[in-house]
Copies of this chain bind each other. A is one copy, B any other.
Amino acid sequence: MKLIIAILQDKDAGRAVTEINRRGFRATKLASTGGFLREGNTTILVGVEEHDVEQVLAVLRRTSSERHETLTPQTPAHSGEPYVPFPVEVTVGGATVFVVDVDRYEKF
């Protein structure tokens, strides 16, 4: 048995947990802040058999990896001058994952 402790951005945590549940695993969300990632993150705990670790990591990699998104700012309303909007690239997401050995696992 392994315990996966993953720190995700809040905006990715919902989808990550849904996908993890869909594969039959359970995830517990802990409220967390700052540190490993930009503000607004969630720590999730997932207990899995060793042979299922890779599958959960794949879900986390797909739902929560750091990626670049392109934002095109809105045309400003207050200006009479010609406005040429150009896209801005922002970095979102990112996950830090620790897999820890479980000595003993009980379900009551």
Contacts and interface: CB of A to CB of B under 8 A. Distances in A.
Contacts of A93: 108
B34 A28 contact: yes
A28 B3 contact: no
Nearest to A67: B108
Q: How many chain copies does the complex carry? A: 3
| Chain A interface, DSSP helix/strand/loop, else mixed | strand
A103 interface: yes
23 contacts: A2-B103, A3-B5, A7-B28, A7-B45, A28-B96, A30-B32, A32-B45, A35-B44, A36-B45, A57-B106, A60-B106, A60-B108, A61-B108, A94-B108, A97-B105, A97-B108, A99-B103, A99-B104, A99-B106, A100-B101, A100-B102, A100-B103, A101-B101
